[in-house]
Amino acid sequence: MFTEDVTFAADQLKQLVGFQIVDTVVTPDGDSYGFVVQKDPHGKPIERKVCWVDCDPEGNGPGWLQIEEQENVEQTPSG
């Protein structure tokens, strides 16, 4: 992948900040998969998006997510 592609992909992921993964999806033919995210902006309709995990921008097949454990971060009380 080229640096521009990585930067573009990271910028695309910014659309998901504040959303929570709530489900997984598979196409009827079983050739692709993804996940559903949603955000509950208080007092407004719940926003949902489907995120397909593709091998390239054209969607020429499924891709791969590498999921790693990360050290827990302590939250500070807001107030």
Query: What band does 58 get if pLDDT is binned at 50, 70 and 90?
Result: confident
Q: How many CB atoms within 10 Å of residue 13?
A: 9
In a domain, 72, yes or no: no
Specify the number of domains making up the chain: 1
Which whole number is the average pLDDT over 56-60? Answer: 85
User: Is the whole-model pTM more than 0.85?
Assistant: no
For the stretch 1-41, pLDDT in tens is: 578 888 988 999 999 999 999 999 999 999 999 999 999 98
In a domain, 75, yes or no: no
Q: Where are the beta strands (DSSP E) in the chain?
A: 20-26, 33-39, 47-52
In a domain, 34, yes or no: yes
Provide the 8-state DSSP code for 75: P
Q: Which domain holds residue 17?
A: 3-52
In a domain, 44, yes or no: yes
Of the candidates 49, 67, 66, 59, the one whose C-alpha atom is nearest the C-alpha of residue 29 is: 59
In a domain, 57, yes or no: no
